[in-house]
Amino acid sequence: MTTPKKWNVLSPPPLEFINSHPELPSAVAQLLWNRNLRTQKQIDEFLNPDYSQDIHDPYLFQDMEKATDIIFKAIAKDENIVVHGDYDADGVCSSAIIITALRKLGAKNVGVFIPHRETDGYGLNSRTVELLHSQKTNLIITCDCGVSNAPEIALAKKYKIKVIVTDHHSVPAKLPKADAIIHPLVKGEPYPDKGLCGGGVAFKLVQGLLKKYSRSHNSLPDGQTFEGFEKWMLDLAAIASIGDMVPLVGESRTITKYGLTVINKTRNIGLKKLLIVSGLADENGQPKRGAYDSYSMSFQVIPRLNAAGRMDHANTAFALLMAQNEKEAENLAAQLDKNNVDRRKLTEQYVSEARKQIKETKQQDNPVLFVIGKDWPTGILGLISGKIKDDYYKPAIVMGETEKEINGSGRSIKEFSLIAAMQGMPEMFYKFGGHPQACGFTLADKGKLEEFKTRLIAKAAEQTATVDLTPQITVDAEVELDEVNWKLYDLLQKFEPFGQANEEPKYVSRALTVTAIEPVGQDGKHLRLMVKHNSHLIKKTIGFGLGDANRCAENWKECLKPGDKIDMVYSIGVNEWNGNRELQLTIEDIKRV
């Protein structure tokens, strides 16, 4: 049963600000204020990003000149170039972006290495370096990894292999001695946008290559324009940005906004087939329900790309994005769809076991929750820890134990940085990496498990001792339910793409009357509520998981009845079926009045 949430309703903006935008509903004016968009210039840039103005020069990266020089020399000498990616959607898209560009620029000997999550782990490892050396590799370009691989890169340099790192993960105290590092967070890096994902950084490298090539050529080798090729790459950069949940503000917002437009008319055969099997496109590849958005990418496309690396090997997802014929792409998309179905079933099974383990070990009051299972697949540990973190609003570490080692994945709350805590005890790990709210690791020794748990609990207890850890929902505004209409919805679409630092707006309406209750979905775990406010107008709402007594603070399915009064926090969306289209409110939380 989840902990009841505290509703943090943001204060309304000054009346002067509302009056200065008479054309906007007050709820929209409040959204602008909440996002610190106070001047007309800021508002225009946010609501109407301009690709020509809001995308930075790639050569603002301090090592961009060095990196592009190395790559063009390797192309000129027909050297063997290997792009080393990662096994999630960000890493796979990054790899596809760079390899597509290298081939377009005339590189003849380009390969890819996507690590296997179980046998290779995250990032470079020494076995991979040895393998690439045996294959006479001259240049390794990492994407979405590499900044934490100092020993492995040192080994590559020993073998005279040049290494370019493109990454965005937390920067360790000791940087690898690569030939060039393209990373927005490296100390002293002047690049202005610090929030790029791995695909965003890969896209900047491609921009750098195109810009340098254009200094001596009027077009690409096949006659395509530089601008045209660059913009067709935005579909994968957008998917990477949404998939890795980076802040969708600044340059990342512009990349994603334009990238979603490209996705709607993508030329990528594999992506088209994936949109079809996801149910987002018809058999001709045309969007079924209007334009694609960040939500459809997050819940339909990206899980299928990620499922490859979770259930088998991410090579399948990479091959799909690089596919050149329809039949191959169709088969690969079908495989990813099956992987995703299997992933969902397996995750549900192990999440249930994890919840049971926490209750049996009576960890509920601990500052960090730990779950461990024999031979639990590494690919779904992060999904399980995310569910547990959401259940209890506490950092959660989920581990899989084999005969030889213990691998783990963690998800954290915003009040506690997992990666910072782990960087304070590196001797605990064979390898580790991640972000403040997500990490992956392999323990240095299975015997260190209890010490690791004790030390992490102590760090979390110390850092959160004075923090209110009641889970909160940030609510953008309180509105009358009858204000929710198509005009408001259309204005909200200007705030897309939603994501980190630009969350989908949530509203609260109070003293609503429940007119009907209908359990829906498997085992009635979801509830459809019909509600009204101060008029006869009835609004349809859907509460995902609201009918699951094991997940809710109250057993709403049993205790809620028509005529009851509730306060409701919700987001505003659209429900489409059989050509019909209606507004639908998605419930975030409810409370009795």
Distances from the Cα of 338 to the Cα of 243, 271, 364, 412, angstroms: 20, 16, 35, 30
Q: Report the pLDDT averaged over residues 82-95.
A: 96
Q: Give the pLDDT band of residue 552 (cuts 50, 70, 90).
A: low
25-29, 392-396, 407-411: range with lowest mean pLDDT: 25-29
How many residues are recorded in the chain? 593
Alpha-helix runs per DSSP H in 244-325: 250-263, 269-277, 294-296, 302-311, 315-322
Residues 184, 190 contacting (CB under 8 angstroms): no
pLDDT, position 524: 82
- pLDDT tens per residue across span 190-249: 999 999 999 999 999 999 999 999 999 999 999 999 999 999 999 999 999 999 989 898
**Domain boundaries, given as residue ranges, for the chain:** 6-11+472-592, 54-245, 264-349, 361-463
Helices (H) and strands (E) in the chain, counts: 22, 18
- pLDDT tens per residue across span 262-318: 999 999 999 999 999 999 998 888 888 777 999 899 999 999 999 999 888 999 999
Residues 223, 168 contacting (CB under 8 angstroms): no
Residues 459, 424 contacting (CB under 8 angstroms): yes
- pLDDT tens per residue across span 510-525: 999 999 999 988 778 8
Q: Report the pLDDT averaged over residues 333-337.
A: 97
Q: Specify the DSSP class assigned to residue 502.
A: B
pLDDT, position 2: 58
pLDDT, position 501: 85
Architecture of domain 54-245: Alpha-Beta Complex (3.90)
Q: Where are the beta strands (DSSP E) in 81-174?
A: 81-84, 110-113, 139-143, 162-166
Terminal-to-terminal C-alpha distance of the chain:
21
- pLDDT tens per residue across span 263-279: 999 999 999 999 999 99
Residues 532, 481 contacting (CB under 8 angstroms): yes
Who wins on pLDDT, 559 or 266? 266
Residue 427 identity: E
Q: Give the pLDDT band of residue 160 (cuts 50, 70, 90).
A: very high
Q: Give the pLDDT band of residue 534 (cuts 50, 70, 90).
A: confident
Q: Report the pLDDT averaged over residues 162-176.
A: 94
Helix (H) or strand (E) holding 128: helix 126-134
Per the prediction, the chain carries an average pLDDT of 92
pTM: predicted TM-score of the whole model, two decimal places? 0.87
pLDDT, position 234: 98
Q: Report the pLDDT averaged over residues 62-83.
A: 98
pLDDT, position 556: 84
CB neighbours of residue 490 within 10 Å: 9
- pLDDT for 550 beyond 70: no
Residues 122, 431 contacting (CB under 8 angstroms): yes
Could you tell me which residues come within 8 angstroms of residue 327 by beta carbon, excluding any fewer than 6 positions away?
A: none
pLDDT, position 117: 85
Residues 198, 166 contacting (CB under 8 angstroms): yes
Write the class of the CATH domain 6-11+472-592: mainly beta
pLDDT, position 193: 93
Question: How far is CA 43 from its chain centroid?
Answer: 25
pLDDT, position 549: 63
Q: Position of tokens 């395509």?
A: 224
Q: Tokens for 445? A: 């020794």
Q: Report the pLDDT averaged over residues 555-582.
A: 87
Is CATH 3.10.310.30 correct for 361-463? yes
pLDDT, position 500: 85
Could you tell me which residues come within 8 angstroms of residue 67 by beta carbon, excluding any fewer than 6 positions away?
A: 61, 164, 179, 180, 182, 205, 208
- pLDDT tens per residue across span 147-156: 999 999 999 9
- pLDDT tens per residue across span 4-58: 788 999 999 999 998 988 888 888 889 999 998 888 888 888 888 999 999 999 9
pLDDT, position 92: 97
- pLDDT tens per residue across span 463-488: 998 888 888 899 999 999 998 999 88
pLDDT, position 391: 87
DSSP, residue by residue, 169-202: SPPPSS----SEEE-TTSTT---S-----HHHHH
Helix (H) or strand (E) holding 206: helix 198-214
Alpha-helix runs per DSSP H in 362-415: 381-392
Residues 64, 215 contacting (CB under 8 angstroms): no
